[in-house]
Structure 1
């Protein structure tokens, strides 16, 4: 048996139980619902406890290789197309010990080594819980595991220098290139995202820009060009790819279950032709596009 075959068998052995847990909230992680409220807040501030919505193992989605993506609860943005509105409020997550999560991560080191994968901290918005995120990133790096943050960058100022030193890759969501459109999409300002991207670029941290293509909302040519100009600030340099993510309706039922007003209910996903055209427009700016 070759080394590659042995590695493949190892990955299959590990992925079988992980697949059963996918989408199972915080299954397998300690729940601490009996903690007193004040104590819980204090521990979250110092980073030993976090509010975790769920976790899953995915391949070639949230960074290179097979990754354990951890979704933290809480987000300051209110994106019209959010497909996980159940992560918007921190109270909807489960309290999870940092040490318990790191122990879970340690169990998958063999997968990460074999597939050149790692962990991705996502949300919600991961930077709503910077102390907890920082502790997980530090622990992962001590294990020699590749680390990534999936963030809008709106709270980039909350990321400490040590946190960034422990981050190998940032999946930076640039939701619009025009400030007015960005505010319409998210309810927030665009500039903090640009500032955070500039900071990442200065430190030489790899960036994958992510852009969600929503017909009638983010697909105007002038908006596409504005996103391209932002991405080009960091390319060549830190930005190694731009991903165009087609809008979908998979979160619609969650909005209904939460009794939230979903204004994009009648918006259709972009066609394959529309997606290809936007990718080509980005490539016209000299960007690496996926």
Structure 2
């Protein structure tokens, strides 16, 4: 199937991302996600029927205008979300087109993969880097935090390890949900032998998405929770580095 015939649904794009992969990134925020994270800062991107329909050539027409800015230092295109694996064929075709322009590709995902079919295999193969959100290794807490089990994300992490795929782990620090020592130790223990993981990023929780929840008429359950303190980040950093990881925040 040609790229011209494949359409995808996207929420928005960002031209000059600096924290979503190597170098400067053009970020495509894909529409639709099956998780219901309590701290989601893009709840308007959850509806799989929302967003705008685009083709790969339409996106590439815009992307190539930034090529001279993206190309240095390994920059390129990141597929974020929403959840990019829900549109695996579309993102794979996009990544192929990106590679033809000598730009790099990055898949930003929550790892909610059920069937490891050829579409998923192709997507991972076409991704130069995967940024995987491991939201909580304690499954009971994960279910309350996201609405689903963490077994999918854990299995995807193991798959990336088996494929020797460059991976960055992202861990959102939410007070009372993911900022305790036990949760950090569980993450360290789960990932300690995965030498494909280049680093773990500690992402402080923030309230920037609260207004969107209100606009959508949804109940935001994390009202009043403050971002984690610097002391908390240092404590979790110390725990995770003890498992041999490079940890940044």
* TM-score grouping bracket, smaller chain normalisation: over 0.9
CA RMSD of aligned residues (A): 1.8
Output the TM-score relative to the length of structure 2. Answer: 0.93
Equivalent residue for 1:262, pick from 203, 220, 223: 220
Aligned partners of 2:226 and 2:64: how far apart in 1? 41
Q: Does 1:216 align with 2:193?
A: no
Gaps in structure 2 of 5+ consecutive residues: none
Deviation at 1:47, TM superposition (A): 6.4
Aligned partners of 2:102 and 2:121: how far apart in 1? 19
Deviation at 1:272, TM superposition (A): 1.2
Tell me the equivalent position of 1:23. none
Runs of 4+ in 1 over 6 A off after TM superposition: none
1:235-254 superposed matches below 5 A: 237-254=195-212
- Residues 218-256 of structure 1 show CA distances to partners (whole Å, capped at 9, x for unaligned) of 11211111111222241xx21000000000000000000
- Residues 203-232 of structure 1 show CA distances to partners (whole Å, capped at 9, x for unaligned) of 111000000001111112111111112222
Tell me the equivalent position of 2:43. 85
1:108-257 superposed matches below 5 A: 108-155=66-113, 157=116, 159-234=119-194, 237-257=195-215
Deviation at 1:116, TM superposition (A): 2.3
Task: Give SS of 2:71's match.
Answer: helix
Equivalent residue for 1:52, pick from 10, 16, 30: 10
Task: Give SS of 2:111's match.
Answer: coil
Equivalent residue for 2:61, pick from 99, 103, 112: 103
Instruction: Please identify, of 187-196 and 168-177, the stretch whose mean Cα deviation from structure 2 is larger.
Output: 187-196
Aligned partners of 2:17 and 2:73: how far apart in 1? 9
Tell me the equivalent position of 2:34. 76
* 8 Å contact from structure 2 (residues 71, 102) kept in 1: no
* 8 Å contact from structure 1 (residues 122, 149) kept in 2: yes
How has the CA–CA distance of structure 1 residues 59 and 130 changed in structure 2, closer, same or farther, with 3 Å as cutoff? closer
Aligned partners of 2:91 and 2:5: how far apart in 1? 7
- Residues 10-41 of structure 1 show CA distances to partners (whole Å, capped at 9, x for unaligned) of xxxxxxxxxxxxxxxxxxxxxxxxxxxxxxxx
Aligned partners of 1:103 and 1:198: how far apart in 2? 36
Aligned partners of 1:243 and 1:267: how far apart in 2? 21
How has the CA–CA distance of structure 1 residues 47 and 181 changed in structure 2, closer, same or farther, with 3 Å as cutoff? farther
Task: Give SS of 2:137's match.
Answer: coil
The higher-RCO structure (CA 8 Å, 6+ apart) is 2
- Residues 242-277 of structure 1 show CA distances to partners (whole Å, capped at 9, x for unaligned) of 000000000000000000110001211111111111
* 8 Å contact from structure 2 (residues 179, 232) kept in 1: no
